[in-house]
């Protein structure tokens, strides 16, 4: 994807450089066709060409700077997105553990209502106690994972907003 | 105007590059190989994993069925071939399949210990094909990383995980109290390579033909498996995989039985699923005519016929990251949604 972005940015630079130059060249050709040919007209044409070249150089420099910013911003977005993916996986696992312990507790509670065999009851009570002891840890882990996921989702939103801002600036540059 | 169009095209391209295929599904094709196994998994990014390749013989019936599913999935090669164990109904189809579909990486547990023809006749031709590619022998607890999908190795070569799978609690399983202790088995089945696959919140458990005490050890006394949304019932729904404590540990929403007309899909296996709490549906790859076995309704059976009339349709599951999924019966084309 980096290669694609770099290629795209160079394409933007070429568009930005070539289009104003082409406008000026067309104007120069149009004026030459009038047949004035005076020194004053020639000087004016040279001035126009110089201005166009300066404008083109400025646009190129700005585009190159934006290219660097976009590239850096892309890295930031990818980093945060990777961390967010990991946090979401962690949250999925924590949610699975919590729902499993909740389901297990409900199952043993229901079974204890009907099972009369003392050995089986003892086994069920042992499982029930163990799960009750584990439950607070899984609740805590799930909350922590959820908080981390929210934090990173927000961070990604911020980085994406920066990216959008850079794209808008690029758009403004083209509009000029 | 020209500049605007150029910019729009480029910016759209840049943004598209940042957000890759967010809305695609993980697809699983359960191919009817008449009481063996062949399960084709295709990830949203187009990576493929085939678990077993059915039988050899029968005019290459099973490789042809796998190829049909691969064509439907739009894949032209198998990235990972997982062989659960070396019985002919699981490994037999590999040589013929490999002639039609290139296979990159072979994943198994090495070599069979069984001297029977059922193991050796399948393994020898397979080993020749395996030698032509890359092979791996992952241990329980290891993970195979596909892009966007995680595959946890649960069992392999007779060993099983010693810690709970990610997302499982490892808590005591209350259902063990009501289960009888299964017998220990020998040979290739208890050495099956089993996996648990995760795609976002969606989970799928496929333990090959893991039977009896090895299977039970994953759920008793502590539940090392945890919940899976979809459970491919081990050993084709034979009685040795009908262990209530395991079904309770997995607590699947959907169970799939890869039985044939007379192989797998036995009375006790199907009954154990019927008795389990919380299973929304059970799907069979074939109607069984085993004595005493009660089939599920025809809508939940993929193939009803035998012999020439058997079209060998497959069951297709499509899951998204939220954990919801659909199942389509390849025979009736009817899709059922699990939200």
- Interchain contact, A171 vs B11, CB within 8 Å: yes
Lowest mean pLDDT among B33-47, B122-136, B175-189: B175-189
pLDDT in tens, B222-241: 999 999 999 999 999 998 99
- How far is Cα A90 from Cα A152, in angstroms, rounded to an integer? 13
Q: Are strands B159-160 and B194-199 parallel, antiparallel or unpaired?
A: unpaired
In this complex, which of A11, A97, A108 lies closest to B167 when CB atoms are compared?
Answer: A97
Report the residue of chain A nearest B201, measured CA to CA: A92
Give pLDDT, residue B62. Answer: 97
Q: Measured between CA atoms, how close is A39 to chain B, in angstroms?
A: 34
Q: State ipTM.
A: 0.75
Structure tokens at B206: 């496929």
* List of domains in chain A: 42-175 (1.10.287)
Q: What percent of chain B has pLDDT over 90?
A: 84
Query: Which chain B residues have a beta carbon less than 8 Å from that of A12?
Result: 6-7, 10
Of B18, B169, B201, Cβ closest to residue A100: B169
Residues of A in contact with B320 (CB under 8 A): none
Asked if the C-beta of A119 comes within 8 angstroms of chain B's C-beta atoms, the answer is: yes
- In this prediction, residue B21 has a pLDDT band, given cuts at 50, 70 and 90, of very low
Per-residue pLDDT at B199: 95
Interface size A-B, in CB pairs within 8 Å, comes to 108
Chain B residue with CA closest to A122: the answer is B177
**The pLDDT value given to residue A23:** 58
Q: Which of A11, A69, A97 to mutate to test the interface with B (most CBs of B within 10 A)?
A: A97
User: Which residue in chain B is spatially nearest to A176 when comparing CA positions?
Assistant: B3
CB contact under 8 A, A100 and B226: yes
Helix (H) or strand (E) holding B30: strand B26-31
Q: How far apart are CA B31 and CA B50, in angstroms?
A: 10
- What dihedral do alpha carbons B285, B290, B291, B292 form, nearest 10°? -10
pLDDT > 70: percent of chain B? 93
- 3-class DSSP assignment, residue A86: helix
- Distance of alpha carbon A70 from alpha carbon A6, whole angstroms: 9
For A154, other C-beta atoms within 10 Å of its C-beta total: 12
> Residues A104, B176: contact at Cβ < 8 Å?
no
Both tokens assigned to B180: 């009888």
The model's pLDDT over B81-134, given as tens digits with 9 standing for 90+, comes to 999 999 999 999 999 999 999 999 999 999 999 999 999 999 999 999 999 999
């Amino acid at each position: 994807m980096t290669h694609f972005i770099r290629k795209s940015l160079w394409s933007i630079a070429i568009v930005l450089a070539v289009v104003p130059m082409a406008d000026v060249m067309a104007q120069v050709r149009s004026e030459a066709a009038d047949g004035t040919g005076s020194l004053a007209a020639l000087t004016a044409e040279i001035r126009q060409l110089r201005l166009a070249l300066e404008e083109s150089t400025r646009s190129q420099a700005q585009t190159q700077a934006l290219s660097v910013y976009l590239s850096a911003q892309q890295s930031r977005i990818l980093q945060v997105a990777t961390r967010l993916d990991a946090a979401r996986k962690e949250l999925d696992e924590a949610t699975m553990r919590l729902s499993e312990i909740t389901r297990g507790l409900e199952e043993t509670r229901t079974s204890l209502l009907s099972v009369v065999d003392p050995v089986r009851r003892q086994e069920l009570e042992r499982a029930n106690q163990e799960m009750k002891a584990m439950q607070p840890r899984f609740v805590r882990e799930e909350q922590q994972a959820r908080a981390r996921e929210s934090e990173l989702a927000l961070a990604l939103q911020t980085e994406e907003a920066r990216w959008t801002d850079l794209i808008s600036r690029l758009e403004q540059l083209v509009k000029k | 105007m020209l500049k605007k169009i150029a910019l729009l095209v480029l910016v759209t391209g840049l943004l598209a590059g940042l957000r890759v295929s967010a809305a695609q599904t993980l697809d699983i094709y359960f191919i009817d190989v008449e009481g063996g196994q062949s399960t084709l998994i295709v990830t949203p990014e187009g990576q493929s994993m085939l678990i077993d390749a059915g039988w050899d013989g029968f005019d290459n019936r099973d490789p042809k069925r796998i190829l049909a599913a691969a064509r439907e999935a739009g894949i032209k090669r198998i990235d990972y071939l997982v062989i659960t164990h070396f019985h002919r109904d699981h490994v037999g189809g590999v040589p013929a399949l490999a002639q039609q579909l290139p296979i990159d990486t072979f994943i198994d547990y090495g070599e069979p210990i069984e001297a029977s023809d059922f193991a050796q006749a399948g393994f020898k031709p397979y080993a020749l094909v395996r030698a032509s590619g890359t092979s791996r022998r992952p241990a329980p607890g290891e993970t195979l990383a596909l892009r966007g999908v995680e595959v946890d190795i649960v069992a392999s070569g007779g060993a099983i995980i010693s810690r709970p799978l990610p997302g499982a609690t490892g808590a005591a399983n209350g259902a063990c109290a009501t289960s009888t202790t299964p017998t220990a088995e020998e040979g290739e089945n208890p050495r099956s390579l089993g996996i648990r696959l995760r795609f976002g919140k969606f989970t799928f458990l496929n333990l090959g033909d893991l039977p009896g005490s090895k299977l039970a050890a994953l759920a008793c006394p502590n539940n090392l498996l945890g919940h899976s949304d979809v459970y491919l019932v081990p050993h084709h729904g034979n009685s040795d995989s009908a262990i209530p404590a395991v079904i309770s540990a997995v607590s699947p929403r959907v169970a799939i039985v890869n039985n044939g007309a007379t192989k797998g899909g036995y009375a006790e296996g199907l009954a154990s699923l019927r008795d389990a709490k919380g299973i929304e549906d059970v799907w069979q790859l074939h109607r069984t005519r085993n004595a005493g076995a009660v089939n599920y309704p025809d809508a939940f059976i993929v193939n009803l016929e035998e012999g020439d009339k058997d079209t060998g349709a497959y069951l297709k599951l499509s899951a998204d990251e939220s954990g919801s999924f659909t199942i389509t019966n390849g025979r009736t084309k009817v899709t059922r949604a699990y939200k």
